């Protein structure tokens, strides 16, 4: 049913647009024809807002804008027939108030959609949109705004109203670009229909503005083309509301990776080149009449580009930090991993050398972990490692460093601790091991000369000895050069005794 409603709506509107262009009505018939199209689009927006979206406030704003804009046609016709029957209507007129209502209404609706879609403000997309609009603002100023502002036939309110139209167009262009830059992928078709509507409004407004600046009145065909373009804008925004994908415009999506596509880069490049191109154009004509405006435009673009570059650099730095932390963190337990350990241990050895304090390393290995996995399943084994790591971390000193070495093996770095002190710390860990599980441990104390690899190798040998001796015990490794084939000279802990 929703798709059938959309198809019938589009068929009726297409017939109305084609009929208007071919029949070439004039006078009150032409006005009523356009107003009817605008009111039908308003009705479509209201129906679509209730059926297809949760963002009714935004779409109601669009409905207000279309209703006011199309009503302005009727108000202008009444003004021309009753108030100024013998001449041109004054500027500003009552119709201008209705026409201009479109801009704040649409801007508010777009802002509501953007706010609902994004959990937090995307400053990058805001700068990107500002960059493009800043580039477009310069030709708008030179060719439309400045001539309107300098028109001696207009009063101050007339100047303000004449300027309000191009400024409103630029505002809508900025909001539209902002909506696209943060849109989900693939973009909903309703968003493309909305974009087509705003593009049609911009084209019609630009056409009227150019004709006004040139002081020309359009012929009948040109006038009908512009009027059909405006009615097309009405039609497309109504179709956007009726399309089933309308609700997706305001839905939150996963943030995109920090990268710029080729098309986006080309868009920014084109916007940045507008000011130099205008300067070259005026130099070629032999007279630079807008040097200050062009200079201000160039400065604005440089500042926006610099701002965007600083944002991208900060984001890349944050991503690099996140990647570095992830590469040094064990995914299962959240503890430092083997890569982080190989970085931290040499630092600890250097501090122990500098401060002349003892340093010990303990290697822990869960007893019968394979049997536990086979009995309870691998997910249970993963939970055991995770819970054990968290429990051990809570019992260690702040200066100690616990890392997962691999599989069911863990390493503990114990600064300012000799073998006996390290054994006492390991015993505290044994008492907190969850699910009644046990572990074997080997401890090695740095001799002041050996490398980090040699220190870990001695702890590993002591761990092997603890397992050979029956598990669930801690063995202190002998000093380097001792006879490893014999019995270890010290046992830090043996719960079986």
Cα of 410 vs its chain's centroid, Å? 39
How many Å apart are CA 456 and CA 364, to the nearest integer?
Answer: 12
Q: How long, in residues, is the chain?
A: 497
Token pair recorded at residue 122 = 């995307």
The single-letter DSSP state of residue 479 is: P
How many Å apart are CA 420 and CA 275, to the nearest integer?
Answer: 76
Token pair recorded at residue 289 = 């009449």
Q: Which residue's entry shows tokens 């079986």? A: 496
Q: Exposed (0-12), middle (13-18) or buried (19+): which is 277, by Cβ within 10 Å?
A: middle
The single-letter DSSP state of residue 336 is: B
Cα of 253 vs its chain's centroid, Å? 9
Token pair recorded at residue 448 = 């002041």
Cα of 497 vs its chain's centroid, Å? 61
How many Å apart are CA 391 and CA 410, to the nearest integer?
Answer: 13
The single-letter DSSP state of residue 329 is: B
Token pair recorded at residue 6 = 């959309």
What are the Cα distances from residue 153, in Å, to 96, 143, 159?
A: 17, 18, 9
Is residue 487 among the annotated active site residues? no
Q: Which of 408, 450, 454, 487 is catalytic?
A: 408
- What kind and span of H or E run contains 296? helix 291-327
β-sheet bridge partners, residue 336: 329
Cα of 122 vs its chain's centroid, Å? 6
Cα of 132 vs its chain's centroid, Å? 18
Q: From 293, 55, 328, 312, select the one nearest 194 (Cα to Cα).
A: 55
- Residue 403 near residue 411, CB atoms below 8 Å: yes
How many Å apart are CA 47 and CA 5, to the nearest integer?
Answer: 10
Q: From 159, 158, 161, 163, select the one nearest 141 (Cα to Cα).
A: 163
Alpha helices, H only, 328-409: 338-355, 369-376, 378-395
Q: What is the pairing mode between strands 409-415 and 401-406? A: antiparallel
Catalytic residues: 408
């Amino acid at each position: 049913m929703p798709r059938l409603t959309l198809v019938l709506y589009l068929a009726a509107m297409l017939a109305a647009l084609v009929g208007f262009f071919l029949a070439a009505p004039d006078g009150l018939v032409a006005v009523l024809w356009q107003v009817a199209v605008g009111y039908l689009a308003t009705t479509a927006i209201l129906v679509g807002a209730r059926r297809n979206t949760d963002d009714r406030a935004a779409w109601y704003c669009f409905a207000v804008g279309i209703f006011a804009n199309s009503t302005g046609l009727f108000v202008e016709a009444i003004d021309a027939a009753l108030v100024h029957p013998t001449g041109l209507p004054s500027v500003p007129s009552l119709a201008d108030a209705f026409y201009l209502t479109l801009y704040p209404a649409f801007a508010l609706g777009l802002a509501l959609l953007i706010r609902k879609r994004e959990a937090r403000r995307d400053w990058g997309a805001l700068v990107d949109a500002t960059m493009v609009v800043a580039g477009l603002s310069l030709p708008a100023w030179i060719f439309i705004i400045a001539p309107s502002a300098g028109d001696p036939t207009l009063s101050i309110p007339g100047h303000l109203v004449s300027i309000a139209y191009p400024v409103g167009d630029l505002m809508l262009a900025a909001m539209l670009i902002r909506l696209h830059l943060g849109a989900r992928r693939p973009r909903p078709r309703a968003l493309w229909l909305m974009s087509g509507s705003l593009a049609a409004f911009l084209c019609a407004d630009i056409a009227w503005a150019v004709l006004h600046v040139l002081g020309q009145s359009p012929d009948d065909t040109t006038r009908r083309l512009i009027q059909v373009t405006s009615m097309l804008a009405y039609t497309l925004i109504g179709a956007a509301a009726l399309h089933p994908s309308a609700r997706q415009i305001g839905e939150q999506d996963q943030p995109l990776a920090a990268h710029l596509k080729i098309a986006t880069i080309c868009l920014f490049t084109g916007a940045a080149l507008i000011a130099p191109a205008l300067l070259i154009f005026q130099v070629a004509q032999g007279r630079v009449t807008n040097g200050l405006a062009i200079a201000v435009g160039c400065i604005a673009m440089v500042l926006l580009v610099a701002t965007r570059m600083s944002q991208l650099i900060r984001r890349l730095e944050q991503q690099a930090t996140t990647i570095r932390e992830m590469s040094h963190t064990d995914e299962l337990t959240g503890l430092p991993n083997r890569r982080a350990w190989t970085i931290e241990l040499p630092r600890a050895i250097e501090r122990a050398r500098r401060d002349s304090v003892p340093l010990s390393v303990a290697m822990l290995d869960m007893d019968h972990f394979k049997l536990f996995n086979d009995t309870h399943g691998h997910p249970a084994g993963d939970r055991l490692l995770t819970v054990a790591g968290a429990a051990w971390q809570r019992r260690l000193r702040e200066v100690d460093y616990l890392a997962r070495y691999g599989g069911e093996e863990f390493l503990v770095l114990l600064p300012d601790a000799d073998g006996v002190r390290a054994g006492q710390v390991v015993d505290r860990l044994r008492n907190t091991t969850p699910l009644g599980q046990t572990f074997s441990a080997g401890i090695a104390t740095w001799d002041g000369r050996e490398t980090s690899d040699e220190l870990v190798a001695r702890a590993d040998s002591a761990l092997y000895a603890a397992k050979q001796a029956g598990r669930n015990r801690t063995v202190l490794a002998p000093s380097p050069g001792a006879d490893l084939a014999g019995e270890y000279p010290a046992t830090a802990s043996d719960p079986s005794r």
